Structure 1
Amino acid sequence: MVRESVLQKIKLEQTIELLRQDMVEKLLMNGSYQSDEVLGASQALDRILNCYDCVRYGRECGKESNCAAFSFPFIGY
């Protein structure tokens, strides 16, 4: 169980980094935080960070099924 939690945390960290890079790239291309692409990337990053906090601190956030979908690297919102 602990090993599974550690692996999930690592996968979430990888996904966070990919989403962060994606958001920065979209910001540089669009030049505005208010563009739909940047806002979408920012919202996706917020969702995964919320899941990461639940896993990192062992909290029951009630969104485990949503977090499971984020436990692998992806760039899709």
Structure 2
Amino acid sequence: MIKHLFIAHPASVGESYGEHFRHALGFSAAMFLGALACLVHAVIPMAFTRTGSGIIARLHDRMVVNRIRNR
């Protein structure tokens, strides 16, 4: 049962636990950097004017490409 909790979702997207961990960690790092850029942008509006949206667009593209590849 415990093992199922860790492998069911990664298997459903065609990844091992390690592959899924690596991809999810990469996504979380990019989102963290995007959040920091947005925070700085909130305080200093002329800073990082396109960084947050650019990160979101790249992550979306990566996710869609992976989803299509795994069909």
What is the TM-score of this pair, normalised by structure 1? 0.46
Which has the higher relative contact order, 1 or 2, with Cα contacts under 8 A spaced 6 or more apart?
1
